[in-house]
Amino acid sequence: MPRKDLLDIAGLEREEVDHLLDQAVPFKELFTRSVKKVPALKGKSVLMLFYEPSTRTHSSFEVAAKRLSADVTNFDVPHSSIVKGESVRETVETLQAMRTDYIIVRHGRSGLPGTIAKMTRASVVNAGDGAHAHPTQALLDAFTIKEKFPDPTGKRVLIVGDILHSRVARSTSTILKKLGLEVAYLGPGSLVPKNGPENIRRFTNYDEAMAWSPDIVYLLRVQMERQEVQYFPSLREYHKLYGVTDERLKAISDKGLYLMHPGPVNRGVELCDAVMDYERTLINDQVENGIAVRMAVLYWLKPRALGGES
């Protein structure tokens, strides 16, 4: 049965995750046609409610919704009354009056999309809330891995970077564990949470982490705009300790490991320029798959009927 909202991965059954990943395959197949658009959500409206800046996730959802023939409206935050102190409830009531069918929410506060979901008949998709969750990122990561490893059980994924503040690390490791992969974290001690899931190995040293023999190295973005810079001495130092340097890329290439990154990339920090030309870098696959997965999500969710009880 479809759900009304997609708020996090933890709340999904394994069968639901499998269903969404399966459904993304025929959606991706549409991209090879000359007409990439299908009429499934014709006449439906999708509203993008982004309280935090995001180019990639925002445009990915927008393309996904448009390829399903939905009408997309951007609730442009800096110019809207949100800055005038309009409460979230007032905003949602406005959207309700506009008969929006789907609301895509990004917000700095964990749990806010869930609060909005309770206020509206529209389907709410969490596009990232604080350090809590980013479920469509997790789905696109899992889909990208399954394209390379159709049976990913037991494959090892090393997630590198600021685990502590990362909703990507949280959501992606949750989905990968659900699918039977092994996950480990690598990062500065101050950025790898001590209290987290039990069965996730923690490394602070690059060489020790590589000795664990990962199949995929997943680099998190260093969030320059946040305060992480204080957690390690400098960006140059970060690159030296945890980044994929030219030398490390050589070793990664020799072992045939795959590299992933949620984007946008900070070249010279998480990875060196040469990574972008490495044939097992899946960053562009992640972008394309993100659209297919988000189409599958929008097609699966069912808003409550207009006039139905709230």
Q: Which of the stretches 27-35, 94-102, 196-204, 278-286 binds other proteins when contact is defined by CB under 8 A?
A: 27-35
Closest CA to 144 of 237, 281, 301: 281
Which of 2, 108, 180, 189 contacts other proteins by CB under 8 A?
2
Tally DSSP H helices, then E strands, for the chain.
10, 9
Cβ proximity of 172 and 161 under 8 Å: no
The least CB distance from residue 239 to other proteins, in Å, is: 42
Rounded CA separation 183/168 (Å): 13
Cβ proximity of 193 and 219 under 8 Å: no
Which of 13, 15, 34, 194 contacts other proteins by CB under 8 A?
34
Beta bridge partners of residue 72, listed in sequence order: 46
Which of 10, 11, 38, 94 contacts other proteins by CB under 8 A?
38
Q: Which of the stretches 25-33, 80-88, 114-122, 157-165 binds other proteins when contact is defined by CB under 8 A?
A: 25-33
The least CB distance from residue 102 to other proteins, in Å, is: 13
CB of 14 or CB of 37, closer to other proteins: 37
101 Cα distance to chain centroid: 22
Site mask, other proteins, residues 179-218, x = CB under 8 A?
A: ----------------------------------------
Could you give the C-alpha distances from 248 to 186, 216, 279, in angstroms and in order? 15, 14, 15
CB of 35 or CB of 97, closer to other proteins: 35
307: left (phi over 0), alpha (psi -120 to 50) or beta: left
Give the three-class secondary structure for 203.
Answer: strand
Q: Which of residues 63-92 bind other proteins (CB under 8 A)?
A: 68
User: What amino acid is encoded at 274 in this protein?
Assistant: A
The least CB distance from residue 281 to other proteins, in Å, is: 26
User: What amino acid is encoded at 14 in this protein?
Assistant: R
Which of 13, 39, 78, 310 contacts other proteins by CB under 8 A?
39
CB of 2 or CB of 53, closer to other proteins: 2
Which of 14, 37, 99, 118 contacts other proteins by CB under 8 A?
37
Q: Which of residues 251-310 bind other proteins (CB under 8 A)?
A: 299-300, 302
Closest CA to 131 of 107, 155, 101: 107
Task: Work out whether 27 is an interface residue with other proteins (CB under 8 A).
Answer: yes
CB of 8 or CB of 101, closer to other proteins: 101
* Strand arrangement, sheet containing 71-75: 71-75, 45-50, 102-107, 123-129
The contact set with other proteins (CB under 8 A) reads: 1-2, 19, 23, 25-27, 29, 33-35, 37-41, 68, 299-300, 302
